[in-house]
Amino acid sequence: MGMTRILRAVGGFLRWWRAELAGCLPGPVRRFFQARPGMVLVDVSGPEAVVMRCRDGRCEEVGRFAAPPGGGAGDGEGAGDVAHGRRVLLANGAARARTALRLSPARALGKRLALPLAAEAELRNVLYHQIESLTPFRAEEACFGYRVVGRDRRAGELTVELTVVPRTFVDAALRRARSWGIRPGVVDVGTGSPAAAPEINLISGTGAPRSDPWARITGMLSVLALGLALAAALIPLKQAGDRADRLIGEAAALRRASEKVLALRRERDALERRVRFVAARKGGTRPVLAALAEIARILPKDTWLEAFSLDRPEIRISGYSASAASLIGRIDASPLFRKPRFRSPVTRSADEALERFNISFEFAPTTQGKGE
């Protein structure tokens, strides 16, 4: 039992180590390994699923099959389409090779960012924590990938292309791929040449960065487990198993202690926010209830608020509306508000019926007109 735990921990450490090393490699080198012989790319960005084999950064078509509709995330194939897709993939070695999935860019949001060069060491961590400010998505609702397109060492600047896709879109595409008998290890978006090998991996951006406290604890435990596995080759297996059990118990205690510390920090942060909220209310700004009442008065009936925040003097609202563009004029026409603007691009809801918006504006001065 103890040896099984050791081997599982060593395997987890090696997978983590390989992923971290791959993230540190330059783009051309990373693409070389991603496109090693035997990699099968299934491009579902069009009306048909195109099967390609990739080598040396280039992909060559070897087959295709019908995959309607949805451009990569639909589940509308019949049983015959699924069976045919399985046969085409099996004939081209997808069952034995590493597989990748290429999605339609229709649901992807791309941004080019200029960051300090020093951010490259923790680039994925930096991008993860900026998802909510750069896109209309919450971090846990999105998958993201990135590539470095330029380094200006003289100016100390790093240029990065960020691609963000809704998590539901990626999950649906992966379910569809599993119905064809494959489990892709790489998911990218078809924005460039159809023959180009994948340059990003949206799957690696589906969760919080590894630099959070839990990842550091996991890394430490993996290193300890690897050292224990090496020692187990030199000492009796029973002693190695007993030591592993003790370490696992200590790790469980450390995890429980860490959870308590994080819970206390969350409570502290919540108290600080409440104190700041009360202090802001005493500063002489218009009451929050007055702002909410005015917003409720001016917004049309086909509009729903998802979030409201007040950080004097700025107010932010987000939600869904049949016409997000008309909200700017309604807010600007109110005597209580001024300077309305969109904080992020307007996007469509999942059912395409409404528009998702994120708008900020300010209280109008109490002693002056809005035009002054």
- 47 and 194 in a single domain? The answer is yes
**What mean pLDDT do residues 164-173 have?**
89
Tell me, yes or no, whether 345 and 196 share the same domain. no
What is the pLDDT at residue 369?
46
Do 170 and 259 fall into the same domain?
Answer: no
Residue 155 sits in the same domain as residue 91: yes
Whether 368 maps to a domain, the answer reads: no
| Claim to verify: residue 236 and residue 299 sit in the same structural domain | no
Question: Is the residue at 372 inside a domain?
Answer: no
Flag whether 3 is in a domain. no
* Confidence band of 73 (pLDDT split at 50, 70, 90): very low
Task: Tell whether 233 and 356 lie within a shared domain.
Answer: no
Is residue 17 situated within a structural domain?
A: no
Domain CATH number, residue 195: 3.30.420
**pLDDT tens column, 92-119:** 887 778 888 889 888 888 888 888 988 8
125 and 193, same domain (yes or no): yes
pLDDT band for position 372 (cuts 50, 70, 90): very low
Listed residues 200, 223, 257: the one ending a domain: 200
The residue among 200, 229, 250 that closes a domain is 200
- Whole-structure pTM value: 0.45
Residue 91 lies in a domain: yes
Query: What pairs with residue 161 in β-bridges?
Result: 112, 147
219 vs 74, higher pLDDT: 219
Which of 36-40, 163-167, 317-321 bottoms out in mean pLDDT, i.e. has the lowest? 36-40
Residue 22 lies in a domain: no
Residues 91 and 231 in one domain: no
If asked whether residues 265 and 293 sit together in one domain, one would say no
**Locus of tokens 């904080």:** 343
CATH of the domain at 307: 3.30.1360.100
Domain, as residue range, for 300: 288-363
Q: How many domains is the chain partitioned into structurally?
A: 3
The rounded distance, in Å, linking the Cα atoms of 148 and 158 is 7
Same domain, 194 and 88: yes
Residue 311 lies in a domain: yes
Among residues 105, 102, 123, 103, the alpha carbon closest in space to that of 113 is found at 123
Q: What are the residues facing 114 on neighbouring strands? A: 159
State how far the Cα of 237 lies from the Cα of 233, in Å rounded to an integer: 8
- Final residue before a domain boundary, out of 177, 200, 223: 200
Computed over every residue of the chain, the mean pLDDT equals 79
Cα 293 to Cα 272: distance, rounded to the nearest angstrom: 27
DSSP state of 47: S
Do 93 and 154 share a structural domain?
yes
Q: Which residue has the higher pLDDT, 184 or 10?
A: 184
Residues 85, 192, single domain; the answer is: yes
- Model confidence at 2, in pLDDT bands (50, 70, 90)? low
Nearest Cα to 330, choosing from 309, 365, 302? Answer: 302
Task: Tell me what pLDDT residue 117 has.
Answer: 87
Q: 205 in a domain, yes or no?
A: no
Instruction: Round to whole Å and give the CA distance between 6 and 265.
Output: 33
**165 — phi, psi (to 5°)?**
-135, 140
* Average pLDDT score over residue span 201-225: 60
